[in-house]
Structure 1
Amino acid sequence: MAYQTLRQEYLQIPIVTRAYTTACVVTTAAVQLEIITPFQLYFNPDLIFSKFQIWRLITNFLFFGPVGFNFLFNMIFLYRYCRMLEEGSFRGRTADFIFMFLFGGTLMTLFGLFVSLVFLGQAFTIMLVYVWSRRNPYVRMNFFGLLNFEAPFLPWVLMGFSLLLGNSIIVDFLGIAVGHIYYFLEDVFPAQPGGSRWLRTPSILKALFDAPAEDANYNPLPEERPGGFPWGEGQRLGG
């Protein structure tokens, strides 16, 4: 019975969130069990282009370090905000969500060439948090019960928290920068006088991943509800 319940809960997670978080957990487990090592996963342009180890373009987004506080912290935020985006502003738009993954991952990889970063998963998480926060600007946040602020400040709070933990903020700043580029091109620039949409999801992704349109009267849950984690909990003003 417990297995069936867990399986049902797992299958209810949106497909992109489920695939990405599962890949991160499985990769970390494989490293913990010494099936593979981080040296086989990290971003190394020389090995990618000279030895054709193409998998490193993907695996460097899947490893967040050994199991510990940093890993759990990143997994909770990754799962929470990835799911809220997928069930909120990207509901019924799986292809667009995957395209955002590809766009963000490509930009981070290009920037990674210049800042010598070897793992980009944390930056990717910050990108997801940033996009969600800009699309929900009036949500009030509570961080660890200590800070109260509006959603757009959340990525900066996380960057400050990384600094307090002694981590480099370059990774967080990269995630914020890429998130802002996506948000500007997708949400801001098209609404400007003379603006247009520069980001267009390839038709092949839409054909592969987009389901038929849902009932127009369907009213989804507010974006801040899924996940059930108190870290970074949100509440709409006036709610």
Structure 2
Amino acid sequence: MEIPKGKKIYFASDNHLGAPTPEASRPREKKFVTWLDTVKHDAAAIFLVGDLFDFWFEYQTVVPKGFTRTLGKLAEISDSGIPIYFFVGNHDLWMNGYFKNELNIPVYHEPKEFAFNNKTFFIGHGDGLGPHDKGYKRMKKVFTNPIFKWLFRWMHPDIGVKIAQYLSIKNKLISGDDDATFLGEDKEWLVQYSKEKLNEKHYDYFVFGHRHLPLEIQLNNNSKYINLGDWVNYFTYGVFDGEQFELKTFKP
């Protein structure tokens, strides 16, 4: 993709809308919608890099209640012709066809390569990558198992959603609460993962979420690791103007 002059690509992750309660997260949702309204004026594309929701499950004919402001704004932006790309996170990994069918937003379940103005990007949420996260990797295999999803779908949504929301906050393997501090570059497993990927192929930028920490780490002379932070504590986002990538804090 060639970015038109004066346009930019925006990145955000880890909004966790609905946590710890829908009422408590509503001010964050309104702030995020304000950000979307702000960036749409010069956005060439918008990347949402996982955990937009603290819990999401698509039943046959039902999706979770709420998030009206966010979904409406995403529909407006998508309808205007600005492409939006969504990467599932560990909290909203049960995305299926709803975003694609209703909002015309493609959904990716694995990291993906992109090229903008001859700069190569490797983009994904970041959960389950690298040498760490072993407990979560085992749990993810259960959650993504077709039998588990089939059984969960047969549970009444009023019961299933409440159970999932409780586990989402209380279970550290899911919530990631034990990972919310900087471990040092040599112990950051997404940094290690990025360095391993560089042994296979060059990328200018690795862009991830999941860690809830805004981070910029130079991997070598030509490659950089970016973690987008979150919209719970930091309200940070990434912006690429065609030449440089910056992490910024949204202050409406």
**Superposition TM-score tier, normalisation by shorter sequence:** under 0.3
By percentage of residues, which structure has more helix? 1
By percentage of residues, which structure has more strand? 2
TM-score using structure 2 length: 0.26
